[in-house]
């Protein structure tokens, strides 16, 4: 069975210990509780999902309604004080601890599979690595949750009588369970590493025995044991999909698509999302006498609030229905793809018949989900903050942009050249990323039946390939990373000097491109505002230098690779090989990067000229002032930069 070593037994023990403590903490309502010194406390105890109050009245509302008893935190009775009992930090705590608990549930399921699995199973090592990684992710999410609650849970601007409130035993159990997740995850990964070494040692011993007895080595079983289950592009795809999954689901569930400026005291809108609207004081649009107002956060299809169904046509215009429809399709597609990605990550392998069809299904579903999500956000961006919908649209912002310290439209926007250059750089960056990760720079013709199949910068794929200068009858099968243990004995053959130069050029280009994209993104969104406005010419010049350098290095990379790809001292039978789409994407990326660098150069020159004209204008204005007397300090300050 799986838990036959001390490392595995300790890992299972830590996992069970953490699961018990986190389960109790997740369900119990004692994260924050009163110390018992007050005779009539308004607040008694609080959990993630339950709040207990005693004769509590909200001082921010003009009504006399006391709240008593323990109720679910999303109960209908608490609707009118949701903005008080659910501040931003507590929603973050709920989200991260729920994510921690969900990951821990999946880890418990994998731990049960591990206990019933033999160490000779092909998926044994992958199961250990996956379980360890999931436990570490759960630990990080739980650590974020308990850290946030520990910092803000007992603050004076939240629950009443804050000086008599203490952290409860549920919070303590959550902290202890969270810290127990880290040794559990590390021990599972250590056990996977030890199992890998044991398996490689057994394979090496079997090959040595076959070499000395002149028998055929058990190639097929060793190939099944060491065959790489996912390529580098597959691992990158899983990582990007996880980021997309989290962001899409958070955007789908949170009510912060459009928010009102927090500095406006009499604003009618607080924030809204796809399914929840939060108002401070929204008058009924159908009531000409302004006798009915809607306050608090409500589900957009709330059937309980009187009159809410009568203004649903105002709350959900046709463009909002379209946004909800397309983004719901996006979320459904991402959830379906998540199931398939888990199947691909945990169960499927290249030795199974449905492996290729599974990858194709994942790609089609994620592509369709991305198209639907793009349509949804574009429609909302075009119509979400227009006049005649939400009140006071001039004070509303998409997402969290209200944190900017200037009023809307009071600062210069990014120029068209910068926007177009950024778009071209982004497209080139996507092509460069695909070329960087994918193993299809060179492929062999299918009808040639060559032992070599395909290769990329970091991965080679062979089938029954025998290196003639290796003394043992070793056959290489499957796709493996170029620095893997499988290719250790032929690494010098697979990685000649010129290919190392190509790897270096493409890696430098990759870093320069995405570093420049980060700078251009800050310029486009004007964050931080004062720094961008003051040094925009410098930031654009840095972006131009980075994109131009990336284009130059990519040109060198494709030129060196194209000139050496058919050398007879590298891959065997080079006439049967041909450049594939990864190399073509590299060529296209360096061309697009060159075009983007021209636009950025034009924009950097224009920004510098505008800065110099602004300085001259300031000098002329000061020279025409009566009593003008230039000093060393003034002349020096004019050359230190600035913005108008």
Report the candidate in 338, 400, 343, 348 with the shortest Cα–Cα distance to residue 122. Answer: 348
Q: Which spans in 28-155 are helix H? A: 82-85, 88-115, 124-152
Residues 480 and 369 in one domain: no
Are 343 and 459 contained in the same domain? no
Q: Tell me: do 452 and 548 sit in the same domain.
A: yes
Q: Is the per-residue pLDDT at 333 higher than 90?
A: yes
pLDDT at 548: 96
Last residue of a domain, one of 139, 172, 207: 207
Q: Which long-range contacts (CB under 8 A, 24 or more apart) does 380-389 make?
A: 380/257, 380/319, 380/320, 380/323, 382/319, 383/317, 383/319, 384/257, 384/258, 384/319, 384/320, 384/323, 385/258, 389/314, 389/317
**Same domain for 420 and 384:** no
Highest mean pLDDT among 330-344, 499-513, 561-575: 499-513
Reported confidence tier of residue 1, pLDDT bands at 50, 70, 90: low
447-484 confidence digits (pLDDT tens): 888 999 999 999 999 999 998 888 888 899 989 999 98
Residues in the chain: 644
Q: Same domain, yes or no, for 26 and 138?
A: yes
Q: How far apart are CA 178 and CA 172, in angstroms?
A: 10
Q: Is residue 226 part of a domain?
A: no
Identify the CATH number of the domain in which residue 90 sits: 1.20.140.150
For residue 190 the two structure tokens come to 């250590």
Single out the residue of 437, 440, 457, 487 nearest to residue 238, CA to CA: 437
Confirm whether 140 is domain-assigned. Answer: yes
369, 426: one domain: no
- Both tokens of residue 483? 């620095």
380, 386, 396, 397: which is closest to 319 by C-alpha?
380
**Do the domain assignments include residue 240?**
no
Q: Is residue 471 part of a domain?
A: yes
Q: Number of structural domains, the chain?
A: 3
356 and 459 in a single domain? The answer is no
Q: Could you please report the per-residue DSSP string of 135-176?
A: HHHHHHHHHHHHHHHHHHTT-TTSSSSGGGEEE-HHHHHHHH
- C-alpha angle with apex 146: 142 to 150, nearest 5 degrees? 170
Residues 6+ apart with CB under 8 A from 204: none
39 vs 551 pLDDT, higher one: 551
Q: Say whether both 316 and 437 belong to one domain.
A: no
- Rg of the Cα atoms in the chain: 31
- The reported pLDDT for the residue numbered 500 is 95
- The answer to whether residue 627 sits within a structural domain is no
Q: Let me know whether 461 and 543 are in one domain.
A: yes
Domain annotation covers residue 48: yes
CA 137 to chain centre: 13
Among candidate residues 369, 398, 427, the one where a domain is terminated:
398
What's the pLDDT at 209? 58
pLDDT tens-digit map of 347-388: 677 767 778 888 889 999 999 999 999 899 888 888 887 777
Verify that 495 and 580 share a domain, yes or no: yes
pLDDT at 626 over 60: no
Calculate what percentage of the chain has a pLDDT beyond 90: 35
Considering the domain boundaries, does residue 573 fall inside one? yes
Instruction: Quote the DSSP letter at residue 87.
Output: -
Let me know the angle formed at the C-alpha of 308 by 307 and 309, rounded to the nearest 5 degrees: 90
- C-alpha 306/C-alpha 377 separation (Å) is 31
- How far apart, in whole angstroms, are the C-alpha atoms of residue 517 and residue 509? 12
Residues 421 and 390 in one domain: no
Task: Please tell me whether residues 483 and 590 are part of one structural domain.
Answer: yes
Alpha helix stretches (DSSP H) within 495-535: 497-525, 529-534
Q: Whole domain around residue 329: which residue ranges? A: 254-398
Give a yes or no: residue 260 inside a domain: yes
Distance CA 305, CA 302 (A): 6
Residue 618 CB contacts under 8 Å (≥ 6 apart), including other chains: 638, 644
What single string gives the DSSP state of each residue in 248-279?
HHHHHH-S-SEEE-TT-TT-SEEEE-SSEEEE
């Amino acid at each position: 069975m799986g838990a036959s070593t001390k490392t595995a037994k300790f890992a299972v023990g830590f996992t069970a210990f953490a699961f018990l403590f986190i389960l109790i903490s997740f369900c119990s309502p004692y994260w924050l509780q009163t110390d018992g010194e007050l005779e009539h406390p308004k607040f008694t105890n609080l959990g993630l999902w339950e709040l207990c109050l005693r004769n509590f009245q909200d001082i921010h509302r003009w009504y006399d309604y006391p709240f008593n008893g323990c109720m679910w935190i999303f109960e209908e009775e608490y609707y009118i004080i949701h903005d008080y009992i659910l501040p931003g930090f507590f929603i973050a705590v709920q989200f991260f601890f729920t994510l921690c608990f969900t990951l821990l549930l999946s880890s418990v399921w994998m731990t049960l599979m591990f206990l019933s699995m033999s160490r000779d199973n092909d998926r044994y090592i992958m199961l250990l690595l996956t379980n360890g990684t999931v436990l570490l992710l759960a630990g990080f999410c739980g650590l974020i949750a308990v850290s946030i609650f520990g910092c803000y849970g007992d603050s004076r601007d939240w629950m009443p009588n804050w000086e008599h409130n203490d952290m409860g035993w549920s919070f303590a159990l959550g902290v202890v369970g969270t810290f127990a997740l880290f040794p559990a995850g590390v021990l599972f990964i250590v056990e996977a590493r030890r199992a890998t070494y044991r398996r490689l040692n057994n394979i090496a011993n079997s090959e040595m025995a076959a070499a000395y007895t002149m028998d055929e080595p058990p190639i097929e079983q060793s190939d099944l044991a060491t065959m790489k289950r996912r390529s580098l592009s597959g691992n990158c795809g899983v990582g990007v999909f996880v980021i997309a999954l989290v962001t899409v689901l958070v955007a789908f569930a949170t009510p912060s698509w459009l928010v009102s400026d927090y500095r406006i005291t009499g604003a009618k809108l607080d924030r809204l999302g796809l399914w929840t609207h939060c108002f401070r004081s929204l008058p009924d649009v159908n009531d000409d006498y302004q006798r009915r107002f809607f306050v608090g956060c409500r589900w957009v299809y709330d059937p309980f609030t009187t009159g809410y169904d009568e203004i649903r046509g105002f709350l959900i215009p046709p463009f909002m229905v379209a946004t909800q429809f397309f983004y719901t399709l996006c979320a459904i597609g991402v959830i379906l793809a998540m199931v398939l990605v888990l199947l691909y990550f945990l169960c499927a392998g290249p030795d199974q018949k449905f492996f290729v069809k599974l990858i194709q299904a994942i790609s089609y579903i994620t592509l369709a989900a991305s198209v639907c999500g793009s349509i949804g956000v574009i429609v909302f961006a075009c119509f979400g903050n227009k006049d005649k919908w939400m009140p006071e649209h001039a004070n509303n912002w998409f997402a969290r942009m209200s944190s900017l310290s200037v009023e809307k439209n009071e600062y210069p926007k990014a120029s068209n050249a910068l926007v177009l250059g950024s778009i071209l750089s982004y497209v080139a960056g996507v092509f460069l990323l695909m070329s960087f990760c994918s193993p299809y720079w060179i492929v062999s013709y299918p009808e040639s039946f060559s032992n070599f199949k395909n290769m990329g910068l970091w991965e080679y794929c062979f089938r029954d390939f025998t290196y003639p200068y290796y003394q043992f009858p070793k056959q290489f099968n499957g796709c493996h990373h170029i620095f893997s243990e499988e290719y250790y004995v032929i690494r010098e053959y697979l990685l000649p000097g010129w290919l190392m130069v190509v790897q270096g050029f493409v890696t430098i280009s990759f870093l320069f491109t995405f570093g420049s994209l980060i700078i251009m993104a800050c310029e486009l969104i004007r964050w931080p505002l004062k720094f961008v406005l003051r040094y925009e010419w410098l930031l654009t010049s840095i972006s131009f230098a980075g994109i131009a350098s990336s284009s130059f290095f990519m040109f060198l990379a494709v030129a060196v690779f194209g000139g050496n790809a058919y050398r007879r001292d590298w891959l065997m039978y080079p006439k049967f090989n041909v450049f594939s789409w990864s190399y073509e994407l590299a060529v296209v990326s360096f061309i697009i990067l060159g075009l983007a660098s021209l636009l950025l150069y034009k924009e950097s020159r224009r920004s510098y000229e505008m800065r110099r004209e602004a300085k001259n204008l300031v000098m002329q204005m000061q020279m025409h002032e009566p009593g003008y007397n230039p000093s060393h300090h003034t002349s020096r300050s004019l050359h230190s930069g600035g913005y108008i």
